[in-house]
Structure 1
């Protein structure tokens, strides 16, 4: 059986990572630049990040810092 997962485990041969689904599917570099400009102009009160579960052997990563 093959497993498609957002976070694949590279040590298991049946897992294959796929990109995380999002609302942004740029069709060109210009599209990305327009989206970045739009986000920079927005008044955002909060920034958020989804980190998932902590990784036991990964203590010096951005993920570990966010969870901490």
Structure 2
């Protein structure tokens, strides 16, 4: 879903579980959480609050 990044809930070096909320977007005046598609360690965050993203954009990189 396209939208504006409201908040990034993870940091580089942190770990996430499959299904964990990692970013919150605002789309059509609604807050939409984006979940991790896998578990792993965060190696790069590609977005920051205020960025506009489209469906399919890479928001974070994970390392298993």
Report the TM-score range of the alignment, normalised by the length of the smaller protein.
under 0.3
- TM (norm. structure 2) is 0.24
Larger helix proportion of the pair: 1
Structure number with greater CO (CA < 8 Å, separation at least 6) is 2
Larger strand proportion of the pair: 2
Q: Which has the larger radius of gyration?
A: 1
